[in-house]
């Protein structure tokens, strides 16, 4: 059975109170999923170039186009205007009780993307002799929404008071991995000690290393 992309609506930012959903009549041909990070200039830049320092990761974005068709070629819709209104009520309309449009989750296959609608464009491209629209293409963009639980998990993961683990890749060195966790390289010897490493130069890709809380590292 063909699985359809569902846009599930919630009235609370924790995404617990489900209030409805919109099922696409025709699945999109393509979906764009954007990731972006921002960086600041680190100290010590010179004429040879600029060293970038990671600052933060921006919310992810998902965008796609989908079609509403009431020509009879595809089942599931009787009125273009009615379908547009249903979609807008689920994803776009401001609701006074929550002082916001609905919180959403895009569900299709293995995707479960928590988000809110940021952009909606509607192009009507086929009409009946009476002027009634028979087909419309909707271009939509969604920005990632992180629940309070999501934010708490991320904060715990990045806390300097917790022990971290990281997996060695082929390009990794111990100082580089220490910099990712502690924002400094001079503590790599402490990391080696915590993992009983005798060879500080050659790391094995796939190896899992333990990074102790930063209070165990010497002050710089």
Q: Is the pLDDT of residue 220 over 70?
A: no
Confidence of residue 159 (pLDDT cuts 50, 70, 90): low
Q: What's the pLDDT at 216?
A: 43
Q: Is the pLDDT of residue 10 over 60?
A: yes
Higher pLDDT, residue 148 or 10: 10
- Return the structure tokens found at 36: 């972006």
Q: Do domains 6-151 and 159-216 have the same CATH topology?
A: no
Q: What's the pLDDT at 155?
A: 59
3-state class (DSSP) for residue 89 = helix
Alpha carbon distance, N-terminus to C-terminus of the chain: 61
Query: Which residue shows structure tokens 């209070």?
Result: 215
Q: Classify domain 6-151 by CATH number.
A: 2.40.30.200
Q: What's the pLDDT at 217?
A: 40
Whether this model's pTM surpasses 0.85: no
In CATH, what class is 159-216? Answer: alpha beta
Q: What's the pLDDT at 150?
A: 75
Q: What's the pLDDT at 118?
A: 98
Domain ranges of the chain: 6-151, 159-216
Which of 38-47, 173-182, 189-198 has the highest mean predicted lDDT (pLDDT)?
189-198
Cα–Cα dist 22/91, whole Å: 9
User: What is the per-residue pLDDT across 58-97, written as a single tens digit (0 to 9) for each?
Assistant: 899 999 999 999 999 999 899 999 999 999 999 999 999 8
Q: What's the pLDDT at 218?
A: 39
């Amino acid at each position: 059975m063909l699985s359809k992309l569902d846009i599930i609506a919630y009235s609370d930012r924790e995404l617990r109170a489900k209030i409805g959903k919109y099922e696409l009549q025709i699945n999109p041909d393509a979906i764009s999923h954007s990731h972006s990070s921002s960086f600041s200039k680190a100290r010590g830049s010179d004429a040879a170039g600029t060293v970038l320092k990671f600052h933060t990761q921006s919310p992810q974005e998902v965008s796609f186009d989908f079609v509403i068709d009431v020509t009879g070629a595809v089942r599931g819709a009787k009125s273009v205007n009615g379908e547009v209104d249903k979609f807008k009520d689920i994803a776009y309309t401001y609701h006074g009780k929550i002082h916001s449009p609905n919180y959403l989750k895009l569900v299709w296959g293995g995707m479960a993307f928590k988000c809110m609608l940021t952009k909606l464009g509607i192009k009507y491209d086929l009409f009946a002799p009476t002027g009634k629209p028979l087909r419309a293409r909707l271009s939509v963009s969604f920005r990632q929404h992180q629940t309070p639980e999501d934010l708490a998990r991320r904060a715990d993961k990045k806390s300097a008071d917790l022990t971290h683990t990281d997996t060695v890749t082929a390009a990794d060195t111990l100082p580089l991995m220490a910099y990712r966790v502690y924002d400094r390289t001079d503590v790599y010897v402490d990391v080696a000690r915590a993992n009983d490493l005798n060879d500080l130069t050659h790391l094995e890709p796939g190896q899992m290393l333990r990074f102790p809380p930063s209070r165990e590292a010497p002050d710089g």
